[in-house]
Amino acid sequence: MMITAEVVLFLIFFGAAHIAKFIRFYLVLLEEKKLSFADVLFLYFRTTFINLIIPFKLGEIYRIGAVYHMTGYVKTGVLSVVMDRFFDTTALLVIILPFELFFTGTLNVIPAVLFLCLLILLFIYLSFAPSYSFLNRYLVTTKKSERAMAVLKALDTANEWYLFARSLIRGRSPMILLSSFIGWGAEFLALRTCAAFFGRKFGIQEFNTYINSIFMAGESALGHFYHILAVVLIFVAMAISATVVIVRGERTR
């Protein structure tokens, strides 16, 4: 009975984690009219499956390509994944960094690199609008060369990407961030339940080890077992979502 209860709890927490992560991804792509709910659902599960079987999170490159293929826009593919990763990583670091800094007194390479990347992205995002306004005005009023015109064209292209990035999260950023926290919280509980199944303890320190093992920066036996379960369960979810898309397509013909 205890084993059954732990299995059920694991499936609930695992499901909740990926529902929250799917909601975050769906919110980012909410205004993309070419994609239905079922399309985004299948897109999420197949790209998540690829991410699970390719190391170092390189499956995100596949996700960029998949979004581009379905929407026809490179900036949708790139920026939707960047925004999704930004909020996901922000929530993770809010959990991991205080533990490493205040409880272990050390900062591992992976969290440090992720934090640096977040700072760079945030700086670019916050500084782009005033920088674009100044440079555009300066070049228009003082420069007339072909090089200046080329720079202006590049600035206009960058501004299009910036405005599109804003549109992906406008009015939805609190919900996107909340879904990220829920996703990581549910994943922590799924891992804790998995550890309890084997009679092992699982706390924030073990969770930190698990996170580092994702990037090949450490070893986690529990994380390896959890990874295998995730591959199987996400494959099943991918197959179900693919069936939904196929059936839906047949009905609309």
> CB neighbours of 195 closer than 8 A, spacing ≥ 6?
201, 202, 206, 222
pLDDT of residue 233: 96
> 197 or 15: whose pLDDT is higher?
15
> CB neighbours of 122 closer than 8 A, spacing ≥ 6?
none
Residue 106: left (phi > 0), alpha (psi -120 to 50), or beta?
beta
Tokens of 113: 């690199």
Question: What's CA 167's distance to the chain center, in Å?
Answer: 17
Side chain identity at residue 43, one-letter code:
L
Task: Return the CA Rg of the chain.
Answer: 21
> 139 or 65: whose pLDDT is higher?
65
In the predicted structure, residue 10 carries a pLDDT above the cut 50: yes
CB 119 within 8 Å of CB 97: no
In angstroms, the first-to-last Cα distance of the chain is: 48
> 131 or 139: whose pLDDT is higher?
131
pLDDT of residue 221: 82
Predicted structure pTM score:
0.90
Q: Distance of CA 6 to CAs 20, 28, 58, 229, Å?
A: 21, 33, 32, 14
Q: What is the mean pLDDT of residues 8-18?
A: 96
- Over the stretch 82-101, which tens digit does the pLDDT of each residue have? 999 999 999 999 988 888 88
Provide the pLDDT confidence category of residue 45 given band limits of 50, 70 and 90.
very high
Measured between alpha carbons, how far is 160 from 73 in angstroms, rounded to an integer? Answer: 12
Q: What is the mean pLDDT of residues 139-156?
A: 85
- Greatest extent of the chain over all pairs of C-alpha atoms, in Å: 79
Q: Distance of CA 112 to CAs 97, 210, 231, Å?
A: 9, 16, 28
Nearest one of 80, 57, 56 to 67, comparing CA atoms = 80
Q: Distance of CA 74 to CAs 32, 51, 82, 178, 225, Å?
A: 13, 20, 12, 27, 36
Tokens of 165: 């990035």
pLDDT of residue 120: 95
Measured between alpha carbons, how far is 138 from 135 in angstroms, rounded to an integer? Answer: 5
% of residues, the chain, pLDDT over 90: 58
pLDDT of residue 164: 95
Measured between alpha carbons, how far is 122 from 108 in angstroms, rounded to an integer? Answer: 21
Q: Which ranges in 72-218 belong to alpha helices (H)? A: 74-99, 109-142, 146-169, 173-197, 204-214
Measured between alpha carbons, how far is 24 from 184 in angstroms, rounded to an integer? Answer: 12
